[in-house]
Amino acid sequence: MADSAPKLLVDGKRIDGRALDELRPIKIVARVLNDAEGSAYIEWGKNKILAGVYGPSECIPKHDQSLYRSIIKFRYNMAPFSGLEEHGKSGPSRRSRELSKVLKEAFENIIISESFPKTQIEIYVEVLQSDGGTRCAALTAAAVALADAGIPMKDLPCAVAICKIDGHMAIDPGKEEDNYGESDMPVAFAMRNGDILLFQMDGMLTHEELVQGLQMAKKAAEKIHKIQIDAIRKVYDEPKEERLLLIK
């Protein structure tokens, strides 16, 4: 990186004016697509992400089938126009393949797949606009889409990242904090018992910092979980025949 790192923390406030334990604004709308069995749209900061779910349907190719459970497929994809930078390349990058894998594994713990032998459940996430922290927003939206589809799950998981900026632990790094921060640690929780379903980390942290970060993440996850539940409730509190994606 040729640019010098900007100062990420001034008088205890972050670049976008947030406090260390403050999330960016999060908005979730469930059931925005017609053909998908379940769907959800999330705005998290400037991230704009759409999730859709299909299944259980016949698992194709057949050699992937399991007689004991449903196979979970997860595709995380970034639109070529999602970033502020140059036009994206088509086809999955190494990054998006890795993310698809860890996200899929998080849901393998949660979806009660034994109910549907020989089938597959497909989860598709499309990042329409990216602003740092897309994997956490993707997991959070995918969980709502799965619940909307009525796929049985042990939990309604959500995710948030923790970062270290100018020597302090903070939650939910924005794009610049992601790029210039000293550490980045996305974590997904099962809310009923606090189990950790996704964990990645880079940068340097002491053990104390890691534990402090996890505690902050858990607290933030509770707020996110409430937003997820409200989004699902809204589908039934204000029933609509029309399913339409509305983006300001």
Residues 215-234 that bind other proteins (CB under 8 A): 229, 232
Is the previous residue joined to 61 through a cis bond, with omega within 30 degrees of 0?
yes
Which part of the chain contacts other proteins (CB under 8 A), choosing from 3-11, 108-116, 197-205, 206-214? 108-116
- Alpha carbons within 13 angstroms on the beta-carbon side of residue 213 total 29
Which part of the chain contacts other proteins (CB under 8 A), choosing from 3-11, 14-22, 86-94, 209-217? 86-94
Which part of the chain contacts other proteins (CB under 8 A), choosing from 7-15, 17-25, 43-51, 197-205? 43-51
Least distance (Å) between residue 152 CB and other proteins: 4
Which of residues 155 and 209 has its CB atom nearest to other proteins in the complex? 155
CA-closest candidate to residue 47, choices 131, 138, 125, 141: 131
Distance CA 187, CA 198 (A): 5
Contacts (CB under 8 A) with other proteins, residues 61-80: 67, 75, 77, 79-80
Binder of other proteins out of 14, 24, 48, 164 (CB under 8 A): 48
Binding mask 174-213 toward other proteins (x if CB under 8 A, else -) reads: ----------------xxxx--------------------
Which part of the chain contacts other proteins (CB under 8 A), choosing from 7-15, 141-149, 162-170, 179-187? 141-149
> Is residue 108 near other proteins by the rule CB under 8 A?
no
> Is residue 140 near other proteins by the rule CB under 8 A?
no
Distance CA 114, CA 120 (A): 11
> Is residue 82 near other proteins by the rule CB under 8 A?
yes
Binder of other proteins out of 6, 25, 150, 203 (CB under 8 A): 150
Binder of other proteins out of 168, 218, 223, 243 (CB under 8 A): 243
Least distance (Å) between residue 93 CB and other proteins: 14
# of chain residues touching other proteins (CB under 8 A) = 73
